[in-house]
Structure 1
Amino acid sequence: MCPACRERYERNPLRLLDCKEDSCRALVAGAPSVLKSLCDDCASHFERLRGYLAAMGVDAVVDPLIVRGLDYYTRTVFEIVATEIGAQSAVCGGGRYDGLIAQVGGPDTPAMGFGMGMERLLLLMEKRGVVPPDPGLLDVYVVTLGDAARAAAVQMVSGLREAGLRTDWDHAGRSMKAQFKYADRTGCRFVLVLGEDELAQGAATLRDMAAGRERKVPMDGIAGTLKAIMGEK
């Protein structure tokens, strides 16, 4: 074990997993995976998260050796890496910290966050020829009713964004009425409603926020349909 890991072994032993020294890497290679020590709730949560990532088409690799440098993280931590920028490939890192707000005197609130290296991000954008778009207003806000609709919305929102439509949806578990109020405050052009009926019909309810009109639109190929409707205005 290297001198640094000997020093922090008692107060933060998980940092040993992230150490780059050969002596520590040899110890970690024979250690049991933390994934085998998850409680039932955390294991279920992690599987749901992986399902959401798969639905969004995110190429995620499970790495049981990722460790964040602060102790307030809970459940999942993550890194986003890019191979185009050399050895310092981590562009972004973060995770959940559900207990942090309560620790500093606030209400018990689920939370997550991340830190991003701006220089690395700008370098990556240059390598990929990415030009930041004009943020403007939202094109679409997705309102969901029920767990099945939320699961379907993950894939729908991801697909709409990939198609170039500025899209958002509810992250706070609000009621339908509250979701519509929030959508109105964003100034979005359209609201897509997903509920049990819409899932059964394979068609979402589209509301034109300016005109107050609604219509059904097929969920299959919905990005192209929305672009065509926007072209009519």
Structure 2
Amino acid sequence: MNVGIIGAGHIGSALAVRLVSLGHSVYIANSRGPETLKDVAQKTGAKAVTAQEAARHGEIIVVTIPLKNIPDLPKDLFVDVPADVPVIDTSNYYPILRDGHMPELETGDLTESEWVQQHLGRPLIKVFNNIFAEHIVTKGVAKGTAGRIALPVAGDDAPAKQKVMALVDELGFDPVDNGGLHQSWRQQPGTPCYGADLPADKLRELFNQMGTQRSEAQHAEYLANHARLERDMAQKGEN
């Protein structure tokens, strides 16, 4: 399969390494041009291209760039991309460390990926945002292995979600349906499943406990949790 990855940071590079190792053709892009991706291409085995080329060649497309940079993507990025090509969003909102405060993401009305979807004008599937990038490379195991890490997958396009869930499984993780994109708040930073590497039964149990509609109390709790996480990361220089 051809996979286009827009974003060559930690998650984009980790996905490229694993996907190439599985025999997929990976096209990777950043905002500065393919000539700046020689080291990434050599490390991952992916082909360095422009963002438009990555989108056009992908049978699945992954957008994995800082949230604040989403509005800077080319407006015609998906013009020639067939409607049935799934687009994955891995973004997380980091107001303290990286993105600055975005009031529309702090009211609780929109999830992070709903905001991204508005800007990209394409239905999105949310996944790979709640796992450490290095774990994508090192912790995938065969289906049926005890303790296999589960990854939540949220989105409103059922066929696209199924394609993405199959890819998650191939990468060595149990895909768990996290409902529509509006339910993707359950996998955002500050929530109990963020970075927790839970198995499928524990993740489903957690989602049942959280419910489908985010309460004001949950929203406030998760924002506070995430702020503490960001401050700890800032102190440790994990920027």
TM-score in terms of structure 2 length: 0.27
Structure showing the higher strand proportion among its residues: 1
Rg (Cα) greater in structure: 1
Higher relative contact order (CA 8 A, sep 6+): 2
